[in-house]
Amino acid sequence: MQKFKAFYVGILAILVAGILLGVLFLKQEVQLISATKLQSLMQNDMPKIATIKGEYLYFTLDKKHYKVAKDSVDLQAFGQQVPLEIKEDWSLWRNAVEIIVIFGAVFIVLLFFFAFKQSKTIQSPQKQVKPKEESTYSNVAKSLANEAFMLQHIKPISSNVTFADVAGISEAKNELEEIIDYLKSPKKYQDFGVKLPKGVLLVGVPGVGKTLIAKALAGEAKVPFFYQSGASFVQIYVGMGAKRVHDLFTKAKLSAPSIIFIDEIDAVGKARGGMRNDEREATLNQLLTEMDGFEDSSGVIVIGATNNVESLDEALLRSGRFDRRIFVELPNLQERVKILQVHTRGKNCDFDFEEVSKLCVGFSGAALASLVNEAALNAIKRGSEVITKEDILSVRDKVMLGVRKKLSFSVKEREILAYYQAAKAFSAYTLEVPFEKITLMSDGFKYADKEFLSQNEMESQIKIHLSGIAALELLFEERYSHAKDDLSIAKGIAHKMVESYGMGQYLVGREEDVLKILENCKNERLAFFKNYRNILENIKVSLLANEKLEYNAVGEIIAEVQC
């Protein structure tokens, strides 16, 4: 009796599973197409009506059902040709029903197998049956269900940023104008046989505005913008990173023309080899294939951003993938003025933008934004409604260097520091290198923005940074550890002079040339301070008394002693 009961349960399970799967596979099939395919179809015939449900536009043509991402279609222009109606999107509920149907069918099939096995066990009880491991069918069903939802989770973000909101990138704007025009009017270029550049690589130090440029590009072009960080592709499970890359490009192609922006692309695009990482290499290989493989990626432009271009794989940098490489430099004086004007919109300010910009040499766009914000907080702290130059000066060092821990120095240490800083201030004044002020712990040397520097100007910079070392060597016949930063800067300038600019003894520089430049600059300062020890002493005394000296005060001390 038990045998026949299991048999009937199995037959019933097969019938129910067949009905469920029949309902699933006989449902209306809708083909997902891109905007380019839509234009091609509508050249031959026009649909009678189209329906907007959720993120997609649905229509029927030649008894075939289609859907296209509504973000990739100009709905206003489309609605003038085809009547549009808006319906509530039940796709999520339908997908949920489909998942239930799949799980139900799998469960019933498993129930049938269980009943069949049980009947076999009853027929031969003497046979020991090993417990069956967990079936893999449920995992397959889950994978299929997740695949159905995958593309819905990848959504473009809208960008309200335009180039009017981004200052100080005039060269980058010029490079991107063609791409913006192509994205706005692709047909004009396609008729001429011109293809969209597949990739643009933005290279620059942190904070110069690479991400902001990409947002402005999407805002100007008014196309779907897909943002991903390079680290989001790096997965612990093998194959998941490559799958994410594939899904991202699939969604972008369906929404073409569109932009994919990969921030910090060096996280996934590092050169292959060395420390082997199969998952990262598989992800990189998938990215290379998507950008320039057999499948057409027309209408999709990839923008990558990095501050470490040297580490990227050569295959990623070749033509056909990243066709354009745009170097985003730190802003110059006029660009800093424009950036300050952008970040002070809506704020009460009472300072000269150009004067403040001259005090902020080496600041990036992000640093200037932080400077204005910190200055505003400082104004609130002192009870003012207006941001002044004093607020800017109060927070400038904190923005660039952070808040330093205040240390307690002995009398001897304070004297050493005072001599060291006095020597640098004395050299800077006599070599006509401007600075705002000098203190016991810091200095304000910011060299002028110049496209070209002479050998004499670069040697003057080295002399300033070696002045403290030379003065202490003269006065105490000793060297001290706190000179590390200045020595590092001086060595860096000397290396540039020899290796990049051919300013050594020979045009092709050698290490001996670097050493010679450094030693000559230090010895020149030693000889200088021997002749002006009294001036150095007076600057040291004043610095110990006030703990800071401004540029004009140093000049007054020098003038008094010489008189």
pLDDT in tens, 355-384: 888 878 778 888 888 899 999 999 999 898
Q: How far is CA 6 from the centre of its chain?
A: 62
Indicate the SS3 state at residue 175: helix
pLDDT at residue 281, as a whole number? 77
Q: Residue 199's closest CA among 300, 272, 312, 315?
A: 300
Class of the CATH-defined domain 333-401: mainly alpha
The reported pLDDT for the residue numbered 90 is: 58
Q: DSSP for 12-79? A: HHHHHHHHHHHHHHTSPPEEEE-HHHHHHHHTT---S-EEEETTEEEEEETTEEEEEEGGGS-HHHHH
Does residue 456 carry a pLDDT above 70? yes
Name the DSSP class of 207.
Answer: T
What is the maximum span of the chain, computed from C-alpha positions, in angstroms?
125
On average, the pLDDT of the chain sits at 78
- E strands in 391-538: 435-439, 443-445
Closest residue by Cα to residue 463 from 540, 541, 397, 529? 529
- Banded pLDDT at 527 (limits 50, 70, 90): very high
Domain with CATH 3.40.50.300 in the chain: 163-326
Q: What is the band of 109 on the pLDDT scale with cuts at 50, 70, 90?
A: low
* CB 416, CB 472: distance < 8 Å: yes
Please tell me the predicted confidence (pLDDT) of residue 148: 45
Give the model confidence (pLDDT) of 111-166 as tens digits. 666 665 655 554 444 444 444 444 444 554 454 445 444 555 677 777 788 887 77
For 160-212, write each residue's pLDDT tens digit: 888 877 777 777 777 788 788 887 777 787 788 877 777 888 888 888 888 88
Least confident among 35-44, 360-369, 522-531: 35-44
Q: Is the pLDDT of residue 273 over 80?
A: no
Is the model more confident about 431 or about 132? 431
Checking if the pLDDT of 437 tops 60, the result is yes
For residue 475, what are the β-bridge partners? none
Lowest mean pLDDT, pick from 91-100, 202-211, 453-462: 91-100
Give the model's confidence band at 524: pLDDT under 50 very low, under 70 low, under 90 confident, else very high.
Answer: very high
The answer regarding whether domain 163-326 maps to CATH 3.40.50.300 reads yes
Whether 542 shows a pLDDT value over 60: the answer reads yes
Residue 292 in tokens = 């320039």
Q: Where in the chain is the domain with CATH 3.30.720.210?
A: 1-152
Q: At residue 419, does pLDDT exceed 90?
A: yes
What is d(CA 175, CA 325) in angstroms, rounded to the nearest whole number? 9
Q: Which CATH class is domain 1-152?
A: alpha beta
- Neighbour order of strands in the sheet with 443-445: 443-445, 435-439, 548-550
Residue 363 parent element (H or E) = none
**Dist CA 448 CA 435 (whole Å):** 10
Q: Which residues contact 128 (CB under 8 A, 6 or more apart)?
A: none
- For the segment 22-51, the average pLDDT, to the nearest whole number, is 74
The residue-averaged pLDDT of 94-123 equals 62
All CATH 1.20.58.760 domain ranges of the chain, comma separated, are 411-562
Confidence label for 48 from pLDDT (cuts 50, 70 and 90)? confident
Q: Which CATH superfamily is domain 411-562 in?
A: Peptidase M41 (1.20.58.760)
pTM for this entry? 0.56
512-536 burial: b if 16+ Cβ within 10 Å, else e: ebbeebbeebbebbbebbeebeebb
